[in-house]
Amino acid sequence: MTTLEAEQAIRALAGARQLQDPYLKRWLAREQAERVAMLDAARKLRLRTGQLAVALDLLEEIAVREGAGIDSILSRENLQRLIESKGPAPARASAFIAELRAIRFPRLGATLRRLSAEISALALPSGVNVVLPKDLNSDELVIRISVRSPDEFDRLMTMLAEKRDGLARLVRMLGGDDEL
Amino acid sequence: MNFELDEIFIEEDSRASALARRVIEALSPRVPIRFVADARAATLADRNAADPFGKGKRRMVIMRRRGAFLMGCPAASARYACCGYLVLALASNCPMDCSYCFLQDYLADNPGFQVYSNYADAFAELGRLAAGSPERQFRVGTGEFADSLAFDSITGVAREFVEFFAAHRNLTLELKTKTDEIDGLLSIEPRGATMVSWTVSPERVYRTSERRTAPPSARLRAARCVLEAGYRVAFHLDPIIAYPGAEDDYPRLAEEILDTVAPEKISFVSMGSLRMTPALRTAARRRFPDDPMLLGEDILCPDGRYRAFTPLRLRLYRQIADRFSRAGAPVQTYLCMEPASVHRRIFAAEAPTPADARERLCCAG
Ligand code: SF4
C-alpha cells in the first residue's frame, strides 16, 4: 500500500465511523508502517468509533512508554491472534481493547489478579462480598454482607470472623505492603 | 540560570522601581523591553501561539501586584493531611519547564511570567501576621506559583526577605527551588529563620521531564553550601513518579540526600506522588507528548486527580520513608495531598493537624 493509498483508506474508514478530527490527524501523523498496521487492525476487528479512539489513545501511550512503534506493538502474538482470528468481530474487538489496556497498565493488572486470587482463596460464604476499589484508586476495602434474618447474620459474622486474617491481609495488600 | 526571554513588559508605574531597574540593567538590550500603562493584558495567553503557556514563560512582565501577597496554600483541603503552609506570591510562573508542572493548568489563562515590583508591600502583610499571633509559628513560602530562586540573580529580592524574616522570630521563610542559584544568599545571616528547600528527583526524571532545572547533584551540592552558610534545608520528593525502576531510584535518591546532609540537619522531607487533574493531564500531555513520565499507571482517584494506583504509590512512599527512618536520627517526613488514612499506613501514626504540622515544620532542624 502506498502512502497515498493508506491515507485515502484511513480517511474513508474514519469518515464512515465519524471519527473525530483530532484522532484522524494523529493517526495520519504516524509513520506509514504504523498507520497501515492500525488500519489493518481497525478493519479486521471492525472497531467502532469509540473503540477506534480508545485503541489509538492506548497505542500511542504504549508507544511512548515502551519506546516502540505502533506497528511493532500490534505485531505481538497476543494481539495478532485477536486481529487474525475468525470469531465474531465485536467479541474480538472488546478482547483487543482489553489486551491493549493490560499492556498499558501491566502492574495494575498484575496487582488486580493477585488480589482477586486472594479473594477467591478466602472462599467467602454467599451473602458476603468483598469489593475492591475501582482500578485500586483508594486503599479502602468494602465488605458487603447481605442477610435476611438474625440467624443468618450471626452465621455470617461468625464465618467472617474466621476469615479475619485473610481479610486483614487483603487490606494490607491494598496499602502496598511489601511483605506480601 | 539561563533565561530564555523573548520580551519584557514593564508597567509605567513600576518603571522607577528597584526591581525594574535591576532587570533592565541585567537584560537590556539583549531582550526587548516595552513600557505599558497597564501590563495585565501582557500576562494573558496568546491563543494563536502553538504553545501559549510556553510562550508566556518567555514573556517577563514587571507590574504591581493588585491583590494580597499572602494566602493559604492552594493544595490545602479538609481531604488531606495538611502541613499548614502559607504562600507568598512574589512572582507567577517560572522560567524552567517541567512537564508535570501544575502551573500549566493553574496559569493557563495568564501564563505571562509576572514579577511584582511592589513586593515590599508584602512586608506590611507579614508584619501584621507576625504581630497578630505572636505565640504562633508561621511557615511562609515563595515557591508555590514560581521558583523562589530562579530569577534571583537578576531581581535580588530573596535577600530582602531573608533579612526581614531574620528579624521576626515567629516567621519562617521557605525558599523552594530546583536551581542552584544560591550566590545571593551566601553573604546574608539568616539567623535560623530561612530554610531553603529543594525539590529533588532521580536523574531519570530530571532528564526526561525537568527542562532548564539544575541537575539533581547540583541541587544537593547547593543544599550543602547554604547549610554551611547558616540556612536550614529541607527536601521535597514531589512529584514521586511510579515509573518502572522507581523502586530503586527513589530510595537511592534518599540515600544521596542523606550522604549530602546529615539527617539531624534536615528540617523536613515532604513526599507527594505525581497527581494531575484531568485538565492538567491534558495540558501536560499536549505540551510533552513524548514524556513517558506522564504516562504512568495513573488512575482517577476519589478527589478527581490522577495518581499511580494505590498499592504501587503507597509501596513507593513506604520504601522512601523506611530509608529516612533508618537514617540514624529522626527526619520529619510528611505527605502532600494524601488522605489521613494514607498517612496512617505509611507512618503508623495519626496525621498531625495543620496547626501541629506548622509548629513542627517551623521548629524542626
Ligand atoms: S521548577 Fe517548579 S514552578 Fe518551575 S516549571 Fe518546574 S515544577 Fe513548575
- Out of B290, B310, B318, the one facing A139 most closely (by C-beta) is B310
| Residue whose CA is at the smallest distance from ligand 1 atom 2 | B147
CB contact under 8 A, B299 and A135: yes
Binning pLDDT at 50, 70 and 90, where does residue B143 land?
Answer: confident
Binning pLDDT at 50, 70 and 90, where does residue B365 land?
Answer: very low
Which residue is listed with cell 519562617?
Answer: B172
What is the pLDDT, as a whole number, of residue B83? 54
- Average pLDDT, integer, range B193-204: 97
What is the pLDDT, as a whole number, of residue B85? 79
What is the pLDDT, as a whole number, of residue B353? 64
In chain A, what residues touch B299 (CB-CB under 8 Å)?
Answer: 108, 134-137
Binning pLDDT at 50, 70 and 90, where does residue B72 land?
Answer: confident
A99 in the same domain as A34: yes
| Residue whose CA is at the smallest distance from ligand 1 atom 8 | B101
- Average pLDDT, integer, range B109-133: 95
Provide the 3-class DSSP secondary structure of residue B311: helix
**Residue A8 within a domain:** yes
Residue among A81, A73, A30 at smallest CA distance from A6: A30
Q: What is the value of ipTM here, to two decimals?
A: 0.90
Q: What is the reported pTM?
A: 0.91
Q: If you measure from the C-alpha of residue A124 to the centroid of ligand 1, how many angstroms do you get, rounded to a whole number?
A: 50
User: What CATH number belongs to B68-112+119-363?
Assistant: 3.80.30.30
A118 in the same domain as A79: no
CA-based nearest residue in chain A for residue B348: A175
Mutational pocket test of ligand 1: of B94, B114, B179, the residue with most ligand atoms within 8 Å of the beta carbon: B94
A84 in the same domain as A36: yes
- Average pLDDT, integer, range A158-173: 95
**Residue A180 within a domain:** no
B241-263 pLDDT per residue, tens: 999 999 999 999 999 999 999 99
A82 in the same domain as A140: no
Rounded CA-CA distance B26/B23 in Å is 5
Q: CB under 8 Å to B216, separation ≥6 — which residues?
A: B200, B201, B202, B203, B206, B253, B256
- Average pLDDT, integer, range A109-125: 95
What is the pLDDT, as a whole number, of residue B260? 97
Domain residues for the domain of A94 are: 3-104
Ligand 1 site, CB within 6 A: B 94, 96-98, 101, 103, 147, 178, 213
Residue among B205, B185, B201, B78 at smallest CA distance from B142: B185
What is the pLDDT, as a whole number, of residue B4? 85
CB contact under 8 A, A136 and B314: no
A152 in the same domain as A97: no
What is the pLDDT, as a whole number, of residue B2? 67
The residues spanned by each domain of chain B are: 68-112+119-363
| Cβ–Cβ < 8 Å for B187, B230 | no
Q: How many domains does chain A have?
A: 2
| Residue A171: all three cell numbers together | 487490606
Judged against a pLDDT cut of 60, whether residue B238 lies above it is answered with: yes
**Residue A57 within a domain:** yes
What is the pLDDT, as a whole number, of residue B362? 59
In chain A, what residues touch B318 (CB-CB under 8 Å)?
Answer: 176-178
Average pLDDT, chain B: 92
A62 in the same domain as A115: no
A100 in the same domain as A40: yes
- Average pLDDT, integer, range B66-85: 70
- Out of B297, B302, B318, the one facing A176 most closely (by C-beta) is B318
Residue among B247, B150, B152, B141 at smallest CA distance from B197: B141
Burial of A5 (0-12, 13-18, 19+ CB in 10 A): exposed
A145 in the same domain as A90: no
How many angstroms separate the CA of residue A133 from the nearest CA in chain B?
Answer: 9
Q: If you measure from the C-alpha of residue B153 to the centroid of ligand 1, how many angstroms do you get, rounded to a whole number?
A: 17
Q: If you measure from the C-alpha of residue A117 to the centroid of ligand 1, how many angstroms do you get, rounded to a whole number?
A: 42
- Average pLDDT, integer, range B178-198: 95
What is the pLDDT, as a whole number, of residue A177? 86
What is the pLDDT, as a whole number, of residue B250? 98
What is the pLDDT, as a whole number, of residue B350? 78
- Average pLDDT, integer, range A79-96: 95
A93 in the same domain as A9: yes
How many angstroms separate the CA of residue A148 from the nearest CA in chain B?
Answer: 32
Task: Mark B157-187 as b/e (b = at least 16 C-beta within 10 Å).
Answer: bbebbbebbbebeebbbbbbbbbbbbebbee
CA-based nearest residue in chain B for residue A109: B297
A45 in the same domain as A99: yes
CA-based nearest residue in chain A for residue B314: A176
Mutational pocket test of ligand 1: of B181, B206, B213, B274, the residue with most ligand atoms within 8 Å of the beta carbon: B213
**Residue A47 within a domain:** yes
- Out of A60, A105, A176, the one facing B297 most closely (by C-beta) is A105
Atom nearest to B210 CA in ligand 1:
6
CB contact under 8 A, A176 and B302: no
Atom nearest to B178 CA in ligand 1:
1
Judged against a pLDDT cut of 60, whether residue B280 lies above it is answered with: yes
| Residue whose CA is at the smallest distance from ligand 1 atom 7 | B101
CB contact under 8 A, B310 and A176: yes
Judged against a pLDDT cut of 90, whether residue A66 lies above it is answered with: yes
Enumerate the H helices of A20-163 as residue ranges.
Answer: 21-28, 32-45, 49-66, 70-74, 77-84, 89-104, 106-122, 150-162
Residue among B308, B304, B276, B297 at smallest CA distance from B104: B276
What is the β-pairing status of strands B33-36 and B194-199? unpaired
Q: How many CB atoms neighbour CB B125 within 10 A?
A: 15
- Out of B313, B318, B341, the one facing A178 most closely (by C-beta) is B318
- Out of A61, A64, A138, the one facing B310 most closely (by C-beta) is A138
A117 in the same domain as A74: no
Q: If you measure from the C-alpha of residue A61 to the centroid of ligand 1, how many angstroms do you get, rounded to a whole number?
A: 24
| Residue B171: all three cell numbers together | 516567621
Residues of chain A that touch chain B, judged by Cβ-Cβ distance less than 8 Å: 60-61, 64-65, 67, 105-108, 111, 133-140, 173-178
Rounded CA-CA distance B115/B156 in Å is 12
A95 in the same domain as A19: yes
